[in-house]
Amino acid sequence: MSTPRRLLDPDRLAADLAAGSRAALSRAITLVESTRDDHRELARSLLTTLSGSAADAVRVGLSGVPGVGKSTFVEALGTLLTGRGLRVGVLAVDPSSVRTGGSVLGDKTRMPRLAADPNAFIRPSPSAGTLGGVARATAQTITLLEGAGYDVVLVETVGVGQSETTVAGLVDTFLLLALARSGDQIQGIKMGVLEFAVVVAINKADGDRVVEATAAARDLAGALRLVRGRSAGSPAGSGGSGWSVPVLTCSGLTGDGIDEVWAAVLRHRTTQGPDGLADKRSRQRWELTWALVRDELEQRLRRSVPVADTADRVRPQVLAGTLPAPAAADAILRAFDAS
Ligand code: GDP
């Protein structure tokens, strides 16, 4: 089914987007998520038009294992922010969507209040074939949300796989939710994630969990100081030294501590300073440029008929051991270059 030309005019779409049309925003996101060549072309013109605008959102990454309370937290934080007159976009980067086409994140029914809030926009994870594809779509969607005047963009991800690395490369501040377990231990933190986290919050600190959450937060803060003190570094996303990771407690359910978590995010932003932030964004743009190139090349490789033909031809020989893998790779690359 072809989409009417009028709907896909990038200038018109950019104007509608800037005027706050949610329909235009949805349409634009669908464009950047598409793998169709003509859609990608349009998406590129649209993004070029938008990149001229100075709009800049507070970009926050949020991670935590399933069940840690991410949706409840986003619902609480998002509502708090829209209540202050801010416009909030919520995106998801979910590796499971790459494998299954379905997503455990970003489902609007998980955040009913925010989903009904005219100042909030929730988008589930794109299932764009590869994590690179998802990163590309998410990065572009952030630009779209900024072009549409959103003040805050929350990018949510589950604490598995490479998704934190991907999200950390797209945001200013990376926030990790964890849980206290009985015995004051911390649950649901993989050490890798702590490399990116610049603010940690022990969630579900309510009712009879408050005491253990507070103790767990204190212990983790101490452990982090020790680890980071030894390696003499701040986390990768912190924008340099001078930032010591606060470990807070909060409850998405009651709303307790949510404001303090947000204050820590803003404090981290201030610590990075306008130059630090601009620097970080510049580096991210260049990394994204290459991610886009790699993604596009992968798509072209996958679509190329001569490549598929050559692969079919050399595969049995490689499997049988009669053609060395490097020679087969050369043949496939020659077919690609000639196509
Ligand atoms: P997600 O999988 O990380 O998105 O977690 P959810 O937000 O869906 O929450 C998982 C479960 O924990 C649900 O049953 C929630 O009601 C519960 N929950 C979430 N946040 C809190 C909280 O702050 N306190 C308590 N006591 N329960 C919570």
How many helices (DSSP H) and strands (DSSP E) are in the chain? 13, 8
Q: What's the 65 CA to ligand 1 centre distance in angstroms?
A: 11
Look up residue 129 and give its amino acid. Answer: G
Pocket of ligand 1, beta carbon within 6 A = 64, 66-72, 203-204, 206, 251-253
**Residue bearing tokens 């204050």:** 263
Distance in angstroms (rounded) separating the CA atoms of residues 158 and 270: 27
Per the domain annotation, does 290 fall within a domain?
Answer: no
Domain count, the chain: 3
Burial annotation 25-58 (CB, 10 A radius, 16+ → b, else e): bebbbebbbbeeeebbebbebbbebbeeeebebb
Query: Does residue 63 share a domain with residue 47?
Result: no
Pairing of strands 247-249, 199-203: parallel
Distance in angstroms (rounded) separating the CA atoms of residues 174 and 160: 15
Asked if 246 and 225 count as a contact pair (C-beta separation under 8 A), the reply is no
Per the domain annotation, does 321 fall within a domain?
Answer: yes
- Atom 24 in ligand 1: which residue has the minimum CA distance? 204
Per the domain annotation, does 294 fall within a domain?
Answer: no
Query: Does residue 266 share a domain with residue 205?
Result: yes
Q: What's the 71 CA to ligand 1 centre distance in angstroms?
A: 7
Ligand 1 atom nearest 104 alpha carbon: 2
- Atom 7 in ligand 1: which residue has the minimum CA distance? 69
The predicted pLDDT at position 310 comes to 97
Q: CATH number of the domain that 150 lies in?
A: 3.40.50.300
Query: Does residue 136 share a domain with residue 114?
Result: yes
Please choose from 65, 70, 71, 72 the residue to mutate so as to test ligand 1's pocket, defined by most ligand atoms within 8 A of CB. Answer: 72
Burial grade of 261 (CB within 10 A; 0-12, 13-18, 19 or more): buried
Query: Does residue 86 share a domain with residue 168?
Result: yes
Per the domain annotation, does 217 fall within a domain?
Answer: yes
Count other C-beta atoms under 10 Å from residue 91's C-beta: 27
Q: What's the 204 CA to ligand 1 centre distance in angstroms?
A: 7
Distance in angstroms (rounded) separating the CA atoms of residues 155 and 264: 17
Ligand 1 atom nearest 177 alpha carbon: 3
Query: Does residue 96 share a domain with residue 60?
Result: yes
Residues 6+ apart with CB under 8 A from 75: 110, 111, 112, 113, 114, 252
Q: What's the 73 CA to ligand 1 centre distance in angstroms?
A: 8
Query: Does residue 76 share a domain with residue 121?
Result: yes
The predicted pLDDT at position 161 comes to 63
- Single residue among 255, 272, 289 that ends a domain in this structure: 272
Q: How many CA atoms lie within 13 A of 103 on its CB side?
A: 24
- Atom 17 in ligand 1: which residue has the minimum CA distance? 69
Q: What's the 1 CA to ligand 1 centre distance in angstroms?
A: 41
What is each CA distance from 184 to 66, 181, 219, 260, in whole angstroms? Answer: 20, 6, 8, 21
Ligand 1 atom nearest 158 alpha carbon: 3
Q: What's the 229 CA to ligand 1 centre distance in angstroms?
A: 33
Per the domain annotation, does 82 fall within a domain?
Answer: yes
Query: Does residue 193 share a domain with residue 332?
Result: no
Please give the structure tokens belonging to residue 96.
């499971």
Q: What's the 70 CA to ligand 1 centre distance in angstroms?
A: 7
The predicted pLDDT at position 233 comes to 46
Q: What's the 130 CA to ligand 1 centre distance in angstroms?
A: 29
- Single residue among 249, 272, 295 that ends a domain in this structure: 272
Query: Does residue 77 share a domain with residue 29?
Result: no
Per the domain annotation, does 286 fall within a domain?
Answer: no
The predicted pLDDT at position 329 comes to 97
- Atom 9 in ligand 1: which residue has the minimum CA distance? 69
- Atom 15 in ligand 1: which residue has the minimum CA distance? 69
Q: What's the 51 CA to ligand 1 centre distance in angstroms?
A: 37
Ligand 1 atom nearest 66 alpha carbon: 2
Query: Does residue 138 share a domain with residue 12?
Result: no
Per the domain annotation, does 291 fall within a domain?
Answer: no
Q: What's the 290 CA to ligand 1 centre distance in angstroms?
A: 37
Query: Does residue 116 share a domain with residue 20?
Result: no
- Segments forming the whole domain that contains residue 319: 304-338
Per the domain annotation, does 5 fall within a domain?
Answer: yes
Look up residue 244 and give its amino acid. Answer: S
**Residue bearing tokens 């029914």:** 109
- Atom 6 in ligand 1: which residue has the minimum CA distance? 69
Pairing of strands 88-93, 247-249: unpaired
The predicted pLDDT at position 128 comes to 60
Query: Does residue 132 share a domain with residue 99?
Result: yes
- Single residue among 250, 272, 294 that ends a domain in this structure: 272
User: pLDDT per position in the chain (339 positions), as tens?
Assistant: 455 555 578 888 889 998 989 999 999 999 988 878 888 888 888 888 887 666 689 999 999 888 899 999 999 999 999 999 999 999 988 766 655 555 555 455 778 899 999 999 998 877 766 677 778 888 889 999 999 999 999 999 876 667 777 788 889 999 999 998 755 456 656 666 677 889 999 999 999 999 999 999 998 888 888 776 654 445 655 545 578 899 999 999 999 999 999 999 999 999 988 899 889 888 888 887 887 788 778 878 988 999 999 999 999 999 999 999 999 999 999 999 998
Q: CATH number of the domain that 27 lies in?
A: 1.20.5.170
φ/ψ of residue 332, rounded to 5: -65, -40
- Atom 5 in ligand 1: which residue has the minimum CA distance? 69
Query: Does residue 138 share a domain with residue 41?
Result: no
Ligand 1 atom nearest 110 alpha carbon: 8
Q: What's the 318 CA to ligand 1 centre distance in angstroms?
A: 51
**Residue bearing tokens 């701040």:** 234
